[in-house]
Amino acid sequence: MKVAILGATGMVGQYLVSLLQGHPWFETEVLAASDRSAGKKYREAAHWIHPSQMPSGIGEMEVANSDVKSVEELGSPDIIFSCLPSDIAGGVEEEFASAGYPVFSKAANHRLEEDVPLIIPEVNPSHATLVDFQKEKRGWQGFITTDPNCSTTQLVLSLFPLVQFDLSKVMVTTMQALSGAGYPGVPSLDANANVIPFISKEEEKLESETLKLLGEFDGEKIIPAELKLSATCTRVPVQHGHLESVTVSLEAKPSLEEVKEAWASFEGEPLKLGLPSAVKPIRYREENDRPQPRLDCDEGNGMTIVLGRLRMDPILDYKYLCLGHNVVRGAAGEGILQAELFKAKGLI
């Protein structure tokens, strides 16, 4: 299937380009970005984070403007990956969906709309069929589906195997990498040797998206999970890898070994379907000083979250650390895995 990437010159767009190189199902057909990049060669428009990783031939591709007409002038894509900033993503994504394209969005604009799926393929693959209701309701031939916020993705992957123990409360403090702010991101004088204890709208995303992801699909909309969640989000001077300190209340009161076994045995539908990007979604490390962003965020080619330091908590019940690669598992790789899921289910 041929792919167009909107916002291809941004950090997530560049990672998508890299991860799609040699993909067995998807081939990059069109790269699109803003007016200031349109018409340039991709190598001129993109600040490639690792120049040696520029896929062969990609650098010479002309960049289109991020609208349907410009994209169709340079190719005939089958699906759209949108990595556009949220201030422009909403309307552009609707334009492509109404023109008949399946749109896989990284932006926050549509995540909480009743007829738009918010998907982590291992957690809630059944929510994907919400696009059928969306198409009927909006009169579109295409559709929009979304990925969660990067910090939400890894948190929910760690929580989902614990739902069986009557998960009722969650408190999470995030220590989020600089790359989560995109490029050029946080000014160096703000970030160096510092912790910034506020990320705009991040806590709200964590608290609301988690409830939708763990909710039940009634055929027309998602009924949010009945779960109390409190989040505090900070930015720390780490390049890649969000680390989260998570405390949970489990009404069934499992043993620590039962919790670890729930994580260890969890696989999810992508592995069962044999999707190209599927990996074991969770690894637990027994060492007291793990996980660490520098050592562990590339686990499973960046698609596996790494957990550690599970222990009892005197106020709630259990606490642990959760690490995920924010640009791969939390963004570009997550989007590709979702598109693979939709293809396997016959939705694209």
Domain boundary assignment for the chain: 2-149+331-344, 150-325
The distance of Cα 7 from the centroid of its chain, to the nearest Å, equals: 16
At 56 the pLDDT is 80
How is residue 41 written in tokens?
Answer: 């060669």
Task: Tell me the C-alpha to C-alpha distance, in Å, between residue 75 and each of 30, 168, 289.
Answer: 6, 49, 49
* Number of other residues whose CB lies within 10 A of the CB of residue 180: 25
Output the pTM of the full model: 0.96
At 305 the pLDDT is 98
How is residue 314 written in tokens?
Answer: 């005197």
The Cα 307–Cα 93 span in angstroms is 35
**Cβ(315)–Cβ(247) under 8 Å?**
yes
The Cα 183–Cα 33 span in angstroms is 14
The Cα 277–Cα 289 span in angstroms is 29
Q: For 175-214, write each residue's pLDDT tens digit.
A: 999 999 988 889 999 999 999 999 999 999 999 999 999 9
Among candidate residues 83, 150, 297, 322, the one labeled active-site is 150
3 state SS of 27:
strand
Mean pLDDT of the chain: 95
Place of tokens 């670890």: 260
**Cβ(49)–Cβ(14) under 8 Å?**
yes
Confidence of residue 288 (pLDDT cuts 50, 70, 90): very high
CATH of the structural domain 2-149+331-344, one choice from 3.40.640.10, 2.40.50.460, 3.40.50.720, 3.40.50.150: 3.40.50.720
How is residue 283 written in tokens?
Answer: 């690894």
The Cα 32–Cα 83 span in angstroms is 10
* Number of other residues whose CB lies within 10 A of the CB of residue 301: 13
The Cα 246–Cα 262 span in angstroms is 16
322 is catalytic: no
The Cα 39–Cα 81 span in angstroms is 20
> Is-same-fold flag (2-149+331-344; 150-325)?
no
**Cβ(34)–Cβ(347) under 8 Å?**
no
Burial of 46: CB neighbours in 10 Å, binned 0-12, 13-18, 19+:
buried
Q: For 8-20, write each residue's pLDDT tens digit.
A: 999 999 999 999 9
**Cβ(348)–Cβ(78) under 8 Å?**
yes
At 48 the pLDDT is 79
The Cα 108–Cα 112 span in angstroms is 8
At 137 the pLDDT is 94
**Rg of the Cα trace of the chain?**
20
**CATH, range 150-325:** 3.30.360.10
Which of 139, 171, 131 lies closest to 345, judged by CA?
Answer: 131
| Residue 215 one-letter amino acid | G
Among candidate residues 127, 240, 242, 325, the one labeled active-site is 242
233 is catalytic: no
Q: Residue 53: is its pLDDT beyond 80? A: no
Confidence of residue 257 (pLDDT cuts 50, 70, 90): very high
At 189 the pLDDT is 92
Per-residue three-class SS string for 147-212: CCCHHHHHHHHHHHHHHHHCEEEEEEEEEECHHHHCCCCCCHHHHCCCCECCCCCHHHHHHHHHHH
* Residue 7: φ, ψ to 5°: 75, 35
Share of the chain above pLDDT 70, in %: 99
Q: Residue 49: is its pLDDT beyond 80? A: no
Task: Tell me the C-alpha to C-alpha distance, in Å, between residue 62 and each of 50, 109, 126, 161, 179.
Answer: 20, 28, 38, 44, 26
